[in-house]
Amino acid sequence: MKIKSLYLAHPWNMHEEVRQWERYIERIYSINLDNPFFDHKQPEILEAEEKWIKQRKTRTEQLAKIIVEKDLRAIEKNDGIVAFLEYGMKSLGTPMEIFYSGRILQKPTYVISKEVGGHPWIKNLATKVFKTKQAFEDYLINSNKFDIK
């Protein structure tokens, strides 16, 4: 089975950089990158995410559940994930998404990381680790696992 879509796991503080890269990849190759910060347009999810970002003091379990369940369902519907991961990231979501995809669902799990790719958890959970976005792109072209142009 060829991979046609990947969930795009990354922390909020990288969302603009990752969004530009996502648009580039989708324009050049016929692979869909499902970005949790931009591609889930249901009003209740957008509202929950906006409240979560803006209202640190009033974050509720209900808001958390909406966001997490939306991400889990998105990971399930895609063929795998590609995740950006570095030391010092202010995100627990990305490592959780890697765990869910790699261990629980046993889907293709690709990690782009300059620093933590050698960590035992990442080596165990990731299908493949790349130090750069370009290395991942080279893999897209050469691996014969992806349905690309």
Per the prediction, the chain carries an average pLDDT of: 87
Task: Label residue 128 by pLDDT band (50, 70, 90).
Answer: very high
In the chain, the domains with their CATH numbers are: 5-142 (3.40.50.450)
Residue-wise pLDDT tens digits, 80-95:
999 999 877 777 899 9
Tokens of 74: 């998105």
**Which of 89, 78, 90 has the alpha carbon at shortest distance from 34?**
78
Tokens of 128: 């493949």
Describe the chain by its helix, strand, coil percentages, rounded to 5: 50, 15, 35
> How large is the average pLDDT for residues 55-65?
68
Task: Label residue 101 by pLDDT band (50, 70, 90).
Answer: very high
pTM of the model: 0.86
**Residue 119 three-state SS:** coil
Assess contact for 10 and 84: CB atoms under 8 A.
Answer: yes
